[in-house]
């Protein structure tokens, strides 16, 4: 063959086979889990590299890895190519890869125990296995008969574990640490809280637990764990962590949190390393606040001007602060299960609420259910049309956004109405109660609402564009009425 080559030409030597280097199992692992269902995995493995080009295999990566996010950092190497082999070794995968090939079928006679072997060609695997056995077409049935299948080998593209392969070009041979970093779905966390309220002490004890879920298909042993709370990152699968009425943040906080700042998020490092097994849910304690000042109260609201056919129960609420002198830190979103000490001092479950990410210094009101003995009823007593002069002469207190109260005069002619509302609050308890009552639906679109009369002053710190709020005190075994006039444009 050499004589067939032109002058000065020589036959090229066959290319050397690419070296394949396994990095072994996971090394020093750190996992950062974000709110939602997203995690950053950092895995540092000590690896002995040859000089030149080699294919590095990283087993035990997440089966829900996002391959486009992979980065590999090491001294003296360049990345040439990377692939993620996500076909895992399983009986179904083995059979699917055997389509068009021959396998061995072993049947055992139940009566005699004698085995027979036949070669068969796999024709299709679509809801069942179709075989060509010596010219006859059979279906491999799953009917508990003693039948085994022997394959001639394992397909090269099937892996026992999720494996990432990266082709690198190393300038020199030798051992060095390689740090693999990637994003993965399937890892999530939420906060769960247990609160015990003591009526006599007007305080609650609050414990916080992190609930981890690992549906990534891979476990992470002895990992450093960092939890990040944010509403704006991750692949979100829903924000609520449990049932129950959502808590009201009656005042947003302005205090700095004890949690680490990470950009505009809060990060919570776990002090001890932990193992997050595959398909596991586990809990880790992260908050313990004792003797937090708290009060029990009631809340009710009406969405429009209307008469209620019968009295309704007010919501039971428990109020506390996340500021100094209270919880003293920000609280990640999660469910709060509330217990109350009964007359014998035993803790009894009274309800569940859900909080969103809450900054330090916020005031929270947990709604746990309906009150048995505290009720309210709204009655629309009268609705009358006003003239332009009536509107101009009426008190023109305008409910504006951010609590700004101004006095204005009307200089346009439109239809104005005065609505007379009466709200009845009753208390069958042996102690007085205070109800936070809110009338919603006041200023919708360009509807300018004024309040010329109210029998109780509204809470000046809670005058909003579309609602007005009162704190109504109801005596023990008594009732209180609130009457209000609303002037509106329609």
171 and 67, same domain (yes or no): yes
Q: Is the pTM of this model over 0.85?
A: no
Are 165 and 129 in a shared domain?
Answer: no
For 12-48, write each residue's pLDDT tens digit.
Answer: 334 455 687 778 789 999 999 988 789 999 999 999 9
Q: Answer yes or no: is 124 within a domain.
A: yes
Give domain status of residue 6, yes or no. Answer: no
Residue 252's pLDDT is 47
* Boundaries of domain holding 114: 91-150
Q: Do 454 and 316 belong together in one domain? A: no
pLDDT computed for residue 402 by the predictor: 66
Residues 196 and 169 in one domain: no
Question: Does 246 share its domain with 278?
Answer: yes
The answer to the question of residue 367 being in a domain is yes
Residue 476 has pLDDT above 80, yes or no: yes
Residue 159 has pLDDT above 70, yes or no: no
Domain boundary among 150, 171, 200: 150
Question: Of the residues 373, 397, 432, which one is the last residue of a structural domain?
Answer: 373
Q: Please indicate, yes or no, if residue 333 is contained in any of the structural domains.
A: yes
Total domains in the chain come to 4
Q: Please tell me the predicted confidence (pLDDT) of residue 233.
A: 59
Percent with pLDDT over 70 in the chain: 78
Summarised one tens digit per residue, pLDDT across range 358-381 is 888 889 989 988 999 999 999 999
Same domain assignment for residues 167 and 201: no
Residues 6+ apart with CB under 8 A from 266: 228, 229, 230, 257, 259, 260, 330, 332, 357
Residue 12 domain flag: no
Same structural domain for residues 335 and 192? Answer: yes
Going by C-beta distance under 8 Å and a sequence separation of 6 or more, which residues neighbour residue 471?
Answer: 434, 435, 436, 437, 459
Q: Given this model, what pLDDT does residue 356 score?
A: 85
> Which of these three, 373, 403, 434, is where a domain ends?
373
Same structural domain for residues 278 and 327? yes
Q: Is residue 368 part of a domain?
A: yes
pLDDT, residue 417, reads 87
Query: Are residue 477 and residue 430 in the same domain, yes or no?
Result: yes
Residue 313 exposed, middle or buried by CB count within 10 Å (0-12, 13-18, 19+): middle
């Amino acid at each position: 063959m050499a004589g067939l080559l032109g002058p000065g030409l020589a036959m090229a030597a066959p290319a050397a086979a690419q070296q394949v280097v396994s990095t072994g199992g996971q090394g020093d692992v750190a996992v950062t889990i974000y709110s939602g269902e997203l995690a950053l995995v950092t895995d540092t493995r000590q690896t002995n590299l040859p000089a030149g080009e080699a294919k590095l295999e990283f087993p035990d990566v997440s089966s829900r890895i996002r391959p486009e996010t992979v980065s590999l950092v090491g001294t003296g190497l360049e990345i040439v190519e990377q692939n993620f082999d996500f076909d895992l070794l399983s009986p179904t995968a083995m059979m699917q890869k055997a389509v068009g090939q021959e396998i061995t079928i072993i049947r055992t006679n139940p009566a005699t125990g004698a085995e027979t072997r036949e070669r068969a060609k796999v024709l299709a695997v679509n809801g069942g296995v179709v075989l060509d056995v010596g010219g006859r077409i059979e279906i491999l049935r799953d009917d508990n008969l003693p039948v085994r299948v022997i394959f001639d080998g394992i397909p090269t593209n099937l892996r026992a574990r999720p494996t990432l392969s990266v082709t690198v070009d190393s300038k020199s041979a030798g051992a060095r640490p390689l740090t693999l970093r990637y994003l993965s779905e399937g890892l999530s966390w939420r906060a769960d809280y247990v609160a015990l309220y003591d009526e006599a002490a007007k305080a609650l004890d609050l414990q916080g637990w992190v609930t981890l879920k690992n549906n990534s298909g891979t476990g992470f042993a002895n990992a450093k764990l960092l939890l990040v709370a944010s509403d704006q990152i991750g692949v979100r699968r829903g924000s609520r962590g449990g049932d129950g009425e959502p808590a009201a943040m009656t005042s947003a906080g302005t205090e700095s949190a004890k949690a680490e700042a990470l950009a505009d998020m809060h990060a919570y490092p776990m002090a001890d390393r932990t193992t997050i097994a595959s398909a596991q849910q586990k809990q880790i304690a992260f908050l313990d606040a004792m003797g937090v000042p708290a009060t029990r109260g009631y809340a009710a609201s009406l969405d429009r001007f209307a008469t209620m056919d019968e009295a309704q129960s007010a919501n039971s609420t428990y109020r506390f602060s996340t500021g100094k002198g209270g919880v003293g830190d920000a609280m990640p979103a999660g469910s709060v299960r509330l217990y109350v000490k009964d007359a014998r001092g035993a803790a009894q479950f009274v309800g569940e609420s859900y909080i969103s990410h809450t900054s330090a210094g916020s005031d929270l009101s947990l709604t746990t259910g309906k009150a048995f003995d505290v009720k309210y009823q709204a009655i629309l007593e009268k609705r009358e049309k006003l003239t332009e002069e009536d509107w101009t002469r009426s008190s023109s207190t305008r409910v504006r956004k951010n609590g700004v109260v101004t006095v204005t005069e009307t200089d346009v002619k439109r239809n104005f109405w005065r609505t007379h509302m009466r709200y009845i609050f009753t208390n069958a308890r042996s102690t007085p109660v205070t109800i936070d009552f809110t009338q919603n639906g006041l200023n919708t679109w360009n509807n300018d609402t004024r309040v010329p009369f109210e029998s109780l002053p509204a809470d000046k710190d809670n005058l909003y564009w579309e609602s007005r709020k009162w704190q109504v005190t109801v005596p023990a075994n008594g009732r209180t009425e609130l009457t209000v006039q609303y002037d509106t444009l329609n």
